[in-house]
Amino acid sequence: MATAVQWIQLGHLHYDDALDIQLKRAQALLESEDDLQTVYTVEHPPTITIGRNGSMDNVLADESFLSEHGFTVREVDRGGDVTYHGPGQLVVYPVLHLAPWGNDVKQYVRNLEEAVIRALAEVGIQGTRDEAYPGVWVGAAKICAVGARVKKRHSGEFVTYHGIALNVDTDLSHFQTIVPCGIADRDVTSLTRELGQPADLADWETRLKRSFFDVFGFEA
């Protein structure tokens, strides 16, 4: 059975503001105020986030450089290590309760990856999984980071927030400020690099939305 969803575009928004929106929506689900399934999309200014498995050791740039170049650094409660967000990157934050997907967190993460893999396939890019690391890869380079947080309702059902970051037309030099996802021996890539021409964020949101609806069985 198809699942109704709100797909909400937040546009260009500071990380803190987007996080606040996510947390309020997740709290409404956790407290069973409603059952609205919501997916937010956003583009952030330069931001480094450090997940629960990460540390400042994987932030390579010093504080003065980050300040001079307008970077924000935040410790966050998602899984994973250190991740960069910035202009030209499509960030997707699904705030969902997982009953329609068997309350299965591992399957949920695989669905996130599958949605990206299908969108990439539309333009002939082969996205793959690496069982050692979450996310989507093109060859040995990561094109999409995945980092979810789940909490339980009193019923035992999981509620998710945080999500994925797809490098569309991202300035890849910004990743030199960190050890991406704590993986020192892997590269990062973008759709612009893989396609050999500038990729459009709005176009890729349309593609990704289509694949999300397909994979998750959302109502069109």
* 182 is an annotated ligand-binding site residue: no
- Alpha-carbon distances of 219 from 64, 70, 161, 212, rounded to whole Å: 47, 39, 20, 10
* 163 is an annotated ligand-binding site residue: yes
* 124 is an annotated ligand-binding site residue: no
* 179 is an annotated ligand-binding site residue: no
* 143 is an annotated ligand-binding site residue: no
- Alpha-carbon distances of 62 from 56, 66, 102, 143, 176, rounded to whole Å: 10, 6, 44, 25, 12
* 196 is an annotated ligand-binding site residue: no
Catalytic residue among 166, 181, 191, 215: 181
* 80 is an annotated ligand-binding site residue: yes
Token code pair at residue 113:
């990856």
Q: Is 143 exposed, middle or buried (0-12, 13-18, 19+ CB in 10 A)?
A: buried
Residue 181 appears among annotated catalytic residues: yes
Q: What is the set of active-site residues?
A: 181
Annotated binding site for substrate: 78-85, 145-147, 163-165
Annotated binding site: 78-85, 145-147, 163-165
